[in-house]
Structures are given as C-alpha cells and as structure tokens.
Amino acid sequence: MSNIQEVVGKNIKLFRQTKGLTQERLAELVNVSSSYIGYLERGLRSPSLDLLARIGTALDVEPTVLLDTSSEETEPILRKLNALLIGKDPIPINFLYEVAVAYFESIK
C-alpha cells in the first residue's frame, strides 16, 4: 500500500484527467503553480486542507474522495469509470447501470 501522499496524488491526477484538465489549468483554478500540482500528483508534497478543499471544488468532488485509499486496490478502468461518474446526476447513472445490466445479460 502506498503512503497517503501518493494516494492523494494519484487521485488528483485521475480526477484531473477525467475532467480533461491540464496540470496548468488545475493550478490556475486553485491558485498554485503547475509544478506544485506535479509534485502533488507524484506524491512528493502534501496539500494543506485548504488546498485539498480547493482542488476538490475545482475537480467537482468531495475532498474526502481524494483521500480514499480503497480505490488503489480497484482495477484501473473501474477507477476511471468511478471518477467519471462521481458528482453526476443519478438519473443518467441509473440509465448507464441498466444498460450495463442488459448488456451483461445479453452476453451470458
């Protein structure tokens, strides 16, 4: 298991990429340098609680999601899917779930 700095960094990178943001754009949104975002994503620095909250806001996720260590054990594609769905309206998420259920039933 990685240390918490690495987990936070991986989660920031995952959600940033899912949102289609560059390190530079995220840095602008949270008022830090892009090199600092790079340090965070590589697990070389720890964000303050205030910065973690600003990053969460910029990425449209609760800051606690960025601290979630359980996602480390999840398949990478499932982590990406989860990152894509977090914060979305439940109606389209339910629709996607129903489509997935129907698809997997059809290939049995």
Instruction: Examine the pLDDT at 90 and tell me if it is beyond 70.
Output: yes
Q: What confidence tier does 69 reach under pLDDT thresholds 50, 70, 90? A: confident
Look at domain 4-106 and name its CATH class.
mainly alpha
Instruction: Examine the pLDDT at 2 and tell me if it is beyond 80.
Output: no
Tokens of 67: 């601290």
pLDDT in tens, 78-88: 888 888 888 88
pLDDT in tens, 27-67: 999 999 999 999 999 999 999 999 999 999 999 999 998 99
A 10 A CB-CB count for 3 gives 11
